[in-house]
Structure 1
Amino acid sequence: MNVKFRLTVMNFMQFFVWGAWLLTIANYWFGTKQWDGTQFGKIFATMGFASLFMPTLTGIIADKWINAERLYALMHILYAAVLFYIPQVQNPDDFFGIMLLAMCFYMPTISLANSISYTTLKSNNLDVVKDFPPIRVWGTVGFIVAMWVTNLSGSKALAAQFYIAGAGALFLGVYALTLPKCRPAKLISEKASLSETLGLGAFKLFANYKMALFFIFSMFLGGALQLTNAYGDVFLDEFKHFPKYANSFVVKYSTIIMSISQISETLFILAIPFFLKRFGIKRVMIIAMMAWVFRFGLFAYGDPAGNLWMIVLSCIVYGMAFDFFNISGSLFVETSTTQKNRSSAQGLFMMMTNGFGAVFGSLVSGWMIDKYFTKSFNNVNELATFVDSSSSNSHLLDFIKGQGVTLMNDGTFSKVLMMKDWHHIWLSFTVYALAITILFALMFKHKHTRAEEEAIERISH
């Protein structure tokens, strides 16, 4: 079988098993389980915690002792086992521990998938620069397909999303055992220090003011990415509480609407060479940051009726926000470091965005939303005013009943009913992104080097 096709299947499934639940887990958490928001922030932080150490640890194992494809297979089989167990968890504190375990198995497979792809392409005398991008783009397609499967199967608020992902991960684990062998390269010297083995030497780059500034802003942008992943789909789904939007296309197919973001991501990749050549690395980074401002701001004012175009446009600009910073940032690291510490520096870039950034964004946003942007309602008149409905509306009464709240004869509730103020949540995220953009533009002084010019030329061709 064609080796590129086999790697394409691997990359497709790699992100299918993530996309099946990543954007819809909030619907399961807030809708089906009705657990609180502060603890939900911790759930998305598990990806960050796992990214801090697991990719490095599995990388060392694959470099020294175990074939990469076998380790990759084992991690996915274990990931599948945890996903199958998740629906049995009935306590939010236990859910955190189980999800952390799942992420410890899944997050390192992203870098392992890249390593397997690179090694296999090289061993078959193929050009990694030319042949890998068309293979990797199928990973994004897999993520999109998983979102559609979850939504169209009616699983976006149900435990079934974990079964879909688990079945895919089990298949991928078995499939990986049939991939070409990627034997340990044993590149790590036996005499290497512990810090060298773990790639901690890259932290010396913080001694350079410009690099330190770049990594710090990378962390803040990584936090922004977690905000949209964690809350985007549940934001659209919660329009169902508003009678005038309850039966809209957006509410029924919120995950499909959100998949526009991933479709946009695949398209904006094609535009990166033009923007880099025309505007340079710093300006492309600023464009990416401004795209985050528009991403959140458009969500703040969007709705499934007259302002549906804002929701769609927000999903479209996501591609620019995500791709432009990741690729221009990676290029900056590539051209600002030496061959000796380049790989470690790239790892540090990913650690700051997907590790520290993810933890920061998840924990702070969960706490902030729960403390400042969750409204409490004690009677039906207050709730009716918030959702723009009359107190006699049957949809509103169904919603109250669905929350496990009894409507008393005097119009009060048997217990306090909680709802999120999404308009002000997204506005606060908009201000956050705008502040980062302004500070970065003022503080990050940068002129193109010859190495950057050459790198941009290579990308353009």
Structure 2
Amino acid sequence: MKFSVRVQLSFMMFLEFFIWGAWFVTLGTFVLKSLQNTNDTQVGMAFLTQSIGAIIAPFIVGLIADRFFAAQLILGVIHIAGAILLWVASSTVDFSTFYPVLLVYMILFMPTLALVNSVSFRQMKDPSKEFPTIRVFGTAGWIIAGLTIGWLGWEKSGSLEMTFKMAAGASALLGLFSFTLPSTPPVKRDTKVSVSEILGLDAIRLLKNRSYLLFFVSSIAICIPLAFYYNFTNPYLNEIGMTAAAGKQSMGQMSELLFMLLMPLFFVRLGVKKMLGLGMLAWVIRYALFAYGNVDANYWMLIGGIVLHGICYDFFFVTGQIYTDNLAGEKFKSAAQGMVTLATYGVGMLIGSIISGPIVEAFKTADGGHDWQSIWLIPAGIALVVLLLFLLLFKEKKAVSH
């Protein structure tokens, strides 16, 4: 890969995840503190927009990136439109106005997670070695976003609407920059077009591989408890008195950055099954640490739970993306990445967002706080069951029947 292309892809990843991290980490706190008359169930509803977008993503990606339009062009159009929506979201004052804006934005944004992967993979000869060194800049973008929020004190001052304005500026920049990215035209040139091809459903053939099918189902199941982390960690840390919580949460992405750089080594030594299993085990431990942590003697547990994010994310999500790319045929790489997005951020997080809000609301205490220990032990238990079933049933295979 040319150095100039590497720089372009790295900057693309940086902005992609800076945009997401700029507002997503503090979304729960924004809903509860910045909007009028809201509750924990509405926090779950806000995060549910991510899942709706992720479920629609494979159809959009399968249509535009694998068939009709160059991936980098549609990436630019989406992010320019996204910048406008993020700016509008920053000025809303109640949930009924905020929610539809966020929903439209996430339907547009979630497909871009697959598109940036598609643009990157198409420039690489060996994604298992080259992709982590590019993707690590996305992690850096998320870190910088979190540290900026903590440094500017937007949580403490109640100015979280600024997170959406910051994200809007970055989205406009990425939109314009996308038009300069390496051309990633559609691979398919067939004259006959089936409905399944147009909708990106050809990637479903990967599920004929029993091992991949189990990975797909496990991806859905493990993201149910993941929703608890994304939706309620920031409100939890702010409620129990952690200062600059968003900034502290960026330590999770710092850990992610470290493990991303080490992934090529781990991938060769451990293989897909052990890496996926370690990622799920880290989630079990993380939730247990949150359950028993506090801002006093057990402060280290809170930090430990945050730092484990590197293993949680890299060993499962990034490994899964590489595993999928290795199995997918050349014509279906974009659609296959979209299908992974559907399983994880889509169906799994959808279920998690639906159940997490009411569960957290149910454990509300008389003083307006929450019984966080009981809350965090629930996702810990779910993750443990998924881990055990995965270790018992998954068998790593190298090829898929087409």
TM-score by length of 2: 0.87
Report the Cα offset of residue 265 of structure 1.
Answer: 0.9
Whole-angstrom distance in 1 between the partners of 2:6 and 2:187: 26
The answer for unaligned runs of 5 or more in structure 1 is 241-250, 378-382, 384-417, 453-461
1:205–1:211 CA contact under 8 A, matched in 2: yes
Letter in 2 for 1:263: M
Whole-angstrom distance in 1 between the partners of 2:352 and 2:91: 28
Q: Does 1:432 align with 2:382?
A: yes
Distance change in 2, residues 1:436/1:14 (3 Å): same
Whole-angstrom distance in 2 between the partners of 1:41 and 1:159: 19
Distance change in 2, residues 1:130/1:333 (3 Å): closer
SS at match of 1:306: coil
1:63–1:188 CA contact under 8 A, matched in 2: no
Tell me which residue corresponds to 2:147.
Answer: 148
Report the Cα offset of residue 149 of structure 1.
Answer: 0.9
Whole-angstrom distance in 2 between the partners of 1:279 and 1:183: 32
Tell me which residue corresponds to 1:311.
Answer: 302
Q: Does 1:356 align with 2:340?
A: no
Query: Which string of whole-angstrom CA distances, capped at 9 and with x for unpartnered residues, describes residues 58-114 of structure 1?
Result: 452245544433322221111111111113323323322111111122222222223
* Structure with the higher fraction of residues in helix conformation: 2
Distance change in 2, residues 1:195/1:65 (3 Å): closer
Distance change in 2, residues 1:208/1:185 (3 Å): closer
Letter in 1 for 2:376: W
Distance change in 2, residues 1:115/1:346 (3 Å): closer
Query: Which string of whole-angstrom CA distances, capped at 9 and with x for unpartnered residues, describes residues 330-373 of structure 1?
Result: 45545666667676544423321121112111111112222x21
SS at match of 1:257: helix
Tell me which residue corresponds to 2:293.
Answer: 302
Which protein shows a greater Rg? 1
Letter in 2 for 1:373: F
Tell me which residue corresponds to 2:80.
Answer: 77
Tell me which residue corresponds to 2:316.
Answer: 325
Q: Does 1:169 align with 2:171?
A: yes
Whole-angstrom distance in 2 between the partners of 1:365 and 1:291: 20
Report the Cα offset of residue 273 of structure 1.
Answer: 4.6
Q: 2:56 aligns with which of 53, 56, 59?
A: 53
Distance change in 2, residues 1:189/1:358 (3 Å): farther
Distance change in 2, residues 1:88/1:224 (3 Å): same
SS at match of 1:2: helix
Letter in 1 for 2:284: V
Report the Cα offset of residue 134 of structure 1.
Answer: 2.4
Q: 2:119 aligns with which of 113, 116, 120?
A: 116
Tell me which residue corresponds to 1:26.
Answer: 28
Residue correspondence of structure 1 range 84-103 to structure 2 within 5 A? 84-103=87-106
Whole-angstrom distance in 2 between the partners of 1:9 and 1:279: 30
Report the Cα offset of residue 285 of structure 1.
Answer: 2.3
Whole-angstrom distance in 1 between the partners of 2:66 and 2:398: 33
1:67–1:181 CA contact under 8 A, matched in 2: no
1:188–1:197 CA contact under 8 A, matched in 2: no
2:28–2:234 CA contact under 8 A, matched in 1: yes
Tell me which residue corresponds to 1:14.
Answer: 16
SS at match of 2:79: helix
SS at match of 1:189: coil
SS at match of 1:419: coil
1:237–1:252 CA contact under 8 A, matched in 2: yes
1:55–1:107 CA contact under 8 A, matched in 2: no
Distance change in 2, residues 1:445/1:18 (3 Å): closer
2:132–2:263 CA contact under 8 A, matched in 1: no
Q: 2:7 aligns with which of 2, 5, 19?
A: 5
Distance change in 2, residues 1:279/1:256 (3 Å): same
User: How big is the alpha-carbon RMSD for the aligned residues of Structure 1 and Structure 2?
Assistant: 2.8
Whole-angstrom distance in 2 between the partners of 1:218 and 1:170: 32
Whole-angstrom distance in 2 between the partners of 1:260 and 1:167: 24
Tell me which residue corresponds to 1:422.
Answer: 372
The answer for unaligned runs of 5 or more in structure 2 is none
Q: Count matched residues.
A: 394
Tell me which residue corresponds to 2:197.
Answer: 196
Distance change in 2, residues 1:71/1:329 (3 Å): closer
TM-score by length of 1: 0.77
Whole-angstrom distance in 2 between the partners of 1:231 and 1:301: 16
1:83–1:163 CA contact under 8 A, matched in 2: yes
Distance change in 2, residues 1:369/1:321 (3 Å): same
**Greater shift after overlay, 286-295 or 324-333?**
324-333
Tell me which residue corresponds to 1:219.
Answer: 220
User: Whose RCO is larger (CA < 8 A, sep 6+)?
Assistant: 2
Whole-angstrom distance in 2 between the partners of 1:341 and 1:113: 15
Tell me which residue corresponds to 1:44.
Answer: 47
Report the Cα offset of residue 312 of structure 1.
Answer: 1.4
Whole-angstrom distance in 2 between the partners of 1:450 and 1:209: 12
Tell me which residue corresponds to 2:162.
Answer: 160
Q: Does 1:264 align with 2:255?
A: yes
